[in-house]
């Protein structure tokens, strides 16, 4: 890895290690990784160089989260790696354990890092799309929503939409300011999700949850949610497609003519110029009237929160729809200045 990329990685890692919420269990791992980065650990440097060569557009924040997930996955099959996540380990012991694990399992770590992504799936992240897509459909008179969920993982979001039982359980923990838009059933005609091959397994998604009681709760919520939404699983079509394959993506979008595309916690995984290109390609293929809805970490995971942005078909301007104080959508959501442009005035979107 070049000196500039190494320095950038270290700065991002230091910022993430100081996250206000301690990343709910990842903080200790990030500290150990920071120690290895500062000491120019040879195995870590070789791993980072190999990943950058294979996936040059990956952002630092995504690479850092993916390293934690990959080591978690290794710990599930290699007992010698489990000590990296031992709660009582001293910082120096954890750093030594991580360095030894990366050296012993370097090839396997590179394989995981170059073939997978952070597929953390939050059971609560469908709450905002449910309200905004429902409001959009009513405001624009859309009778059939042909939905595509980009970076869908297990396909949780397409399954959860219009499930009032799941919505009501989680919506009680989310306060909207100044007021919550009304719940409306979405006139879903098509539910489609795409993710890069290999499609994430339940085992992989489990490894994407951090080593803490907080993440154990989030995981149990997801399992419960998928069980309660089982009736719609057969309505969701999942396809393996890499959004970085521009020709394949364009052909797929032209074929299906989606009028609503959701893209949640996906764009941050790429460098900024790639993010902008993907937005332009996805918005440019929307059938009108159409909505592209993006939820991304507010500060590339170095601070808490999430920003919700929308684009209307035929209009390249980003619309500020909402801000969530917690990226797991617990707590407060504040309406953005452009919310009324998507769901109409007087429905939680202002005047």
Predicted local distance difference test score (pLDDT) of residue 172: 95
User: CATH: 1.20.1050, 3.40.50, 1.10.8, 3.30.1120. Which one for 127-343?
Assistant: 3.40.50
Are the CB atoms for 105 and 74 separated by under 8 Å? yes
pLDDT digits (tens, 9 = 90+) for 72-121: 999 999 999 999 999 999 999 999 999 999 999 999 999 999 999 999 99
Predicted local distance difference test score (pLDDT) of residue 25: 72
pLDDT surpasses 70 at 1: no
Paired tokens of 121: 């799936």
pLDDT surpasses 90 at 17: no
Predicted local distance difference test score (pLDDT) of residue 220: 97
Instruction: Provide the residue ranges of all domains of the chain, joining segments of one domain with +.
Output: 3-115, 127-343
Of 219 and 3, the one with more pLDDT: 219
pLDDT surpasses 80 at 351: no
Chain position carrying tokens 């939680």:
348
Predicted local distance difference test score (pLDDT) of residue 341: 98
Per-residue pLDDT averaged across 2-30, rounded?
Answer: 78
Per-residue pLDDT averaged across 292-304, rounded?
Answer: 84
CB atoms within 10 A of CB 89: 16
pLDDT surpasses 80 at 299: no
Per-residue pLDDT averaged across 148-156, rounded?
Answer: 97
pLDDT digits (tens, 9 = 90+) for 153-174: 999 999 999 999 999 999 999 9
Predicted local distance difference test score (pLDDT) of residue 250: 97
The pLDDT confidence band at residue 6, using thresholds 50, 70 and 90, is: confident
Average pLDDT, the chain: 94
pLDDT surpasses 90 at 298: no
Predicted local distance difference test score (pLDDT) of residue 229: 97
The pLDDT confidence band at residue 10, using thresholds 50, 70 and 90, is: confident
pLDDT digits (tens, 9 = 90+) for 257-274: 999 999 999 999 999 999
What string of H, E and C letters represents the secondary structure of the chain?
Answer: CCHHHHHHHHHHHHHHHCCCCHHHHCHHHHHHHHHHHHCCCHHHHHHHHHHHHHCCCECHHHHHHHHHHHHHHHHHHCHHHHHHHCCCCCHHHHHHHHHHHHHHCHHHHHHHHHHCCCCCCCCCCCHHHHHHHHHHHHHHCCCCEEEEEECCCCCHHHHHCCCHHHHHHHHCCEEEECCCCCCCCCCEEEEEEEECCCCCCHHHHHHCCCCCHHHHHHHHHHHHHHHHCHHHHHHEEEEECCCCCHHHHHHHHHHHCCCEEEEECCHHHECHHHHHHHHHHHHHCCCCCCEEEEEEECCCCCCCCEEEEEEECCCCCCEEEEEECCCCCCEEEEECCCHHHHHCCCCCCCC
Predicted local distance difference test score (pLDDT) of residue 346: 78
pLDDT surpasses 90 at 300: no
Paired tokens of 93: 């012991």
This prediction's pTM: 0.94
Predicted local distance difference test score (pLDDT) of residue 303: 72
Chain position carrying tokens 């990030």:
30
Predicted local distance difference test score (pLDDT) of residue 21: 53
Nearest to 57 by CA among 274, 246, 203, 321: 274
pLDDT surpasses 90 at 22: no
């Amino acid at each position: 890895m070049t000196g500039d990329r190494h320095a950038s990685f270290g700065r991002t890692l230091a910022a993430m290690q100081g996250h206000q919420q301690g990343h709910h269990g990842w903080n200790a791992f990030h500290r150990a990784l920071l120690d290895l980065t500062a000491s120019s650990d040879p195995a870590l440097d070789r791993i980072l160089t190999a990943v950058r060569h294979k996936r040059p557009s990956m952002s630092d924040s995504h690479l850092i989260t993916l390293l934690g997930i990959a080591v978690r996955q290794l710990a599930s099959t290699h007992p010698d790696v489990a000590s990296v996540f031992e709660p009582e380990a001293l910082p120096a012991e954890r750093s030594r354990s991580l360095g030894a694990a990366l050296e012993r399992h370097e090839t396997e770590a590179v394989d995981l890092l170059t073939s997978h992504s952070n597929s953390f799936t939050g059971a609560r992240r469908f709450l905002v799309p449910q309200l905004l897509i429902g409001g959009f459909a009513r405001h624009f008179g859309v009778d059939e929503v042909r939905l595509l969920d980009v970076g869908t993982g297990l396909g949780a979001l397409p399954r959860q939409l219009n499930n009032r039982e799941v919505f009501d359980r989680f919506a009680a923990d989310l306060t909207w300011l100044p007021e919550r838009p009304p719940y409306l059933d979405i006139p879903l005609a098509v539910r489609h999700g795409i993710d890069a091959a290999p499609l994430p397994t339940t085992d992989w998604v489990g490894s994407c949850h951090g080593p803490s009681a907080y993440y154990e709760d989030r995981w149990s919520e997801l399992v419960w949610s998928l069980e309660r939404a089982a009736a719609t699983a057969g309505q969701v079509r999942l396809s393996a497609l890499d959004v970085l394959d521009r020709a394949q993506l364009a052909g797929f979008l032209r074929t299906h003519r989606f009028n609503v595309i959701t893209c949640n916690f996906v764009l941050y995984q790429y460098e900024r110029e790639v993010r902008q290109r993907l937005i332009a390609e996805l918005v440019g293929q929307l059938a009108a009237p159409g909505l592209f809805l993006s939820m991304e970490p507010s500060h590339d995971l170095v601070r808490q929160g999430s920003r919700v942005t929308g684009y209307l078909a035929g209009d390249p301007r980003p619309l500020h729809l909402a801000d969530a104080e917690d990226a797991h959508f617990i707590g407060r959501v504040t309406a953005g200045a452009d919310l009324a442009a998507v769901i109409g005035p007087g429905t939680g979107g202002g005047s």
